[in-house]
Amino acid sequence: MKKYIERMSFTMILIIGALLFLGVSAAFAESPASALMLLPFVGMAAAVEGNYLSDLVLEEEDIDASRDAVTVLSGQNLAIGTVLGKILIGALSETHAGNTGNGAMTLDATTPALANCQVGVYKAACTAAAANGGTFEVFDPKGNSLGEVAVGATHANQIKFVIADGATDFIVGDTFLITVAAGSGKVKILTPAGLDGTQRAYGALIADVDASGADKVGAAIVREAVLKDTGLVWPGGITDGQKTTALDELYAQHITIRKGV
């Protein structure tokens, strides 16, 4: 019944649009300036029929609570129901001061941020000195140890880097700090292979958004809702396992996906 009413509403919009167009044509002959005032309404009535919100949403506890405004990253044309990922991780940078050893840390040029990377400051501190070498222990922004790495070896847990030996050896206490900046917070279609946060399901768009030429604001359901699985739009090539992971992530945000409705 709801779908019938929605389709009837769309038909009425087309009829109103046609009447407005005739009215604008007649008015333009008498007063071009007055006719221009009606053009926005003609544009609104000439919308093309697409998916309806009811094709996606089964239930929302509270619209104000379940939806957020989002900025869709430029270069995408996304349909209603697209499962989104959010850019949470930004650029990485390294600093050090007062070290005795003059070796350098080099962040990986391709993937300095790895899975489970956190925003904040990581620390790599020398725990054992050695001639032309040494050992560093790495800590995440919360102070948890991520293990040790030898000078010259690659650390690849949450962040990826190499500490090279220098002319002067490191001593215990020499430290490198790695700062992970927050991401832009913009959204894009879920990217299971991403490392910037977009690999985790954040929500689903509630209307089409064409951001082909520039970033564009839209709206998404990000919590406290029941959605239809048939209304979700997934990235091409996603596996069943990746879908299961994404659905679990949505469920953690109190978004339940109902199948076969």
Q: Edge to edge, what strands does the sheet with 159-163 contain?
A: 105-107, 159-163, 154-157
- Per-domain boundaries in the chain: 1-49, 58-75+191-261, 89-182
Model confidence pTM above 0.85: no
- Report percent pLDDT > 70 for the chain: 80
pLDDT at 52: 83
| pLDDT (mean) for 40-59 | 60
43's tokens: 């544009």
pLDDT at 50: 54
| Closest listed residue to residue 171, CA positions, set 105, 107, 98, 121 | 98
Asked if pLDDT for residue 36 goes beyond 90, the answer is no
pLDDT at 15: 46
| pLDDT (mean) for 240-257 | 96
pLDDT at 231: 95
- The dihedrals phi and psi of 9, each to the nearest 5 degrees, come to -65, -40
Buried b (16+ CB within 10 A) or exposed e, 70-80: bbbbeebebeb
| pLDDT (mean) for 66-83 | 96
Q: Coil, helix or strand for 39?
A: helix
pLDDT at 10: 43
Asked if pLDDT for residue 114 goes beyond 60, the answer is yes
Confidence category of residue 85, pLDDT binned at 50, 70, 90: very high
| pLDDT (mean) for 87-99 | 97
pLDDT at 100: 98
CA dihedral 67→73→75→76, nearest 10 degrees, is: -20
pLDDT at 72: 98
| pLDDT (mean) for 247-251 | 97
Asked if pLDDT for residue 28 goes beyond 70, the answer is no
Confidence category of residue 260, pLDDT binned at 50, 70, 90: low
- Spatial separation of the C-alpha atoms in residues 85 and 102, rounded to whole Å: 40
Asked if pLDDT for residue 245 goes beyond 80, the answer is yes
| pLDDT (mean) for 231-248 | 96
Q: Coil, helix or strand for 65?
A: helix
Average pLDDT in the chain? 85
Per-residue pLDDT tens for 156-165? 999 999 999 9
pLDDT at 62: 81
